[in-house]
Structure 1
């Protein structure tokens, strides 16, 4: 069984992170790709630009609806099925995200989804 962890991309890598996957569609401003340790950039498992942009206009108020919309996208995505097959090979997978909020970000939703399908 694969253990899924979450971590902001700005935090230092640790050996306990296992397979490190960056799960944002856009690269974070001010960070050089070569300065970040990650094993995979999984752009295709992120929320669609439409719901991401809509959510960012009012995150606290739109959290529940965003969660439902993103879960629907995840359940219908072939890219997510391929991603699940890829990460099942590893005992520990850390999802890296750039969002400032630890309580309202898509990586939380993705983690919960993955824990149910792995």
Structure 2
């Protein structure tokens, strides 16, 4: 979890298959695809930011293969520098209104997924 200071939101990540917590604050699904077997009610989302997920091409290439992790991080960070994606990240920070932000993802691998990269990018963006 990243502590971003005074009025800044903390950004954490949580699997879509874990129960939501009262401490999650503003919950945002960051997958392009809806997590299998999960209902809207069970996820308790505030927003679905599918536009911030990796492109289908990158997602399929990565296939959650840890051997592709370093290249995936570079390519995904590059995608996140697009003006529209930067605007979407800023909007999430604004909409959270100082509450913690929880980036929700469906992948089984808790260390090698897009939410890890997105949290890092958003944390740096927020500190500017």
Taking structure 1 as the reference length, the TM-score comes to 0.91
SS in 2 for 1:78: helix
Shift of 1:29: 1.4
Paired residue for 2:52, among 18, 32, 45? 45
Alignment CA distance shift 1:2-1:26 (3 Å): same
Matched, 1:63 2:69: yes
Unaligned runs of 5+ in 2: 1-7
Match of 2:110 in 1: 102
SS in 2 for 1:117: helix
Q: State whether residues 89 and 122 of structure 2, in contact with CA within 8 Å, keep that contact through their aligned partners in structure 1.
A: no
In angstroms, what is the RMSD of aligned CA positions? 1.4
Deviation of the 1:80 alpha carbon: 3.3
Once the two structures are TM-superposed, the CA of residue 13 in structure 1 deviates from its matched residue by 1.2
- Partners of 1:45 and 1:80 within 8 A in 2: no
1:84 match? 90
Tell me: higher relative CO, structure 1 or 2? Use CA pairs within 8 A at least 6 residues apart: 1
Q: Is the 8 A contact 2:52 2:88 kept in 1?
A: no
In 2: Cα distance, 1:79 partner to 1:9 partner = 22
Return the match for 1:115 from 100, 105, 123: 123
Corresponding residue for 1:21?
A: 28
Deviation of the 1:83 alpha carbon:
3.0
CA shift at 1:84, angstroms?
1.7
Q: For structure 1, which runs of at least 5 residues remain unmatched after alignment?
A: none
Secondary structure at 1:95's aligned position in 2?
A: strand
Shift of 1:53: 0.2
